[in-house]
Structure 1
């Protein structure tokens, strides 16, 4: 059993009304430092290893870099990236063809974003990362501190709860808040 401490990254700049998956947005330096300090205090209080896992996207990676400068080991892993919306990524929602959005909702699990990934492919990537800690060695089962993305955290939560890839958008959970912590047990 591995415990995951998953924090959603700080609120990025210029994300409002945009389809943001792997679009690499900047984040205010104070917000990065605030979350990093919160994680460092949490790790110290709970006597957790000073190891952080982050995605390569700035809104996650910069928190890891700040912690690394203060003695943490920082692992950057592309499997922790948010879902890729392909050609939609970064666009304002109003600029995406309504018929395409309807097609996505009609085939929520398998809709193939041009130059992106389907929700099913995304779940496979998340499962792959989670499975990398299945072995019984201490470094594989020790608690993990992670700065991630809302969709990734939602997918990991569903996987941990043995839920299938949702086929209906109504079965997708509300987004976790910026800087919010979610704790998962992975067995």
Structure 2
């Protein structure tokens, strides 16, 4: 089984704004970026499964790539930043931000979730995925979720996963050799 973890394309939002599960519109460059993503994939139209975060930035990319049938799975959503959603990072109380960043793995954002919460739902998705193998699996999702899945596959501490650079429209490939996940590439 080959699993392609695909990060959504760029968004139409000002830099410095906190967003996670808010449905942000895609940037005007979507078509060009989506075609770049397509060029990175080897789409075998037989024997594949496709999943996407239900947020439009992921769903629209999956639809553009003609990944049908497509299963929308809320476990693939980005971290829920709760009360901080759509606030400028600079406008968030420095004390609250310091408290959260000191232990973002376990500390929940006010009204939101922790990185561990995101990890747990990502792992639940991954384990279910591994129970129903296919030749190819395409997962269109978010950087945070991809990082948590890579931390799980690599058995790496969650706080270290933020060291992984994942560009908009990037593809990460994991294949299985005798039920062992092998990472072929990250952020291509």
TM class by smaller structure:
0.7 to 0.9
Q: What is the TM-score normalised by the length of structure 2?
A: 0.82
In 2, the alpha carbon distance for the partners of 1:27 and 1:140 equals 31
Partner of 1:115: 111
Q: What is the TM-score normalised by the length of structure 1?
A: 0.82
In 2, the alpha carbon distance for the partners of 1:150 and 1:74 equals 20
Deviation track 1:17-65 (CA, whole Å, cap 9, x = no partner) reads: 1112111100136515641674377233x66645421101111011123
Unaligned runs of 5+ in 1: none
Partner of 2:52: 54
Where in structure 2 are the equivalents of 1:26-37 lying within 5 Å? 26-28=25-27, 30-32=29-31, 34-35=33-34
Structure 1 pair 50/43, CA: closer, same or farther in 2 (3 Å)? farther
Aligned partner of residue 130 in structure 2, secondary structure: coil
Matched, 1:5 2:4: yes
Aligned partner of residue 90 in structure 1, secondary structure: coil
Residue 67 (structure 1) shift: 3.5
Aligned partner of residue 140 in structure 2, secondary structure: strand
Aligned partner of residue 146 in structure 1, secondary structure: strand
In 2, the alpha carbon distance for the partners of 1:29 and 1:76 equals 24
Equivalent pairs, count: 177
Residue 174 (structure 1) shift: 4.0
Unaligned runs of 5+ in 2: 181-188
In 1, the alpha carbon distance for the partners of 2:152 and 2:40 equals 28
RMSD: 2.5
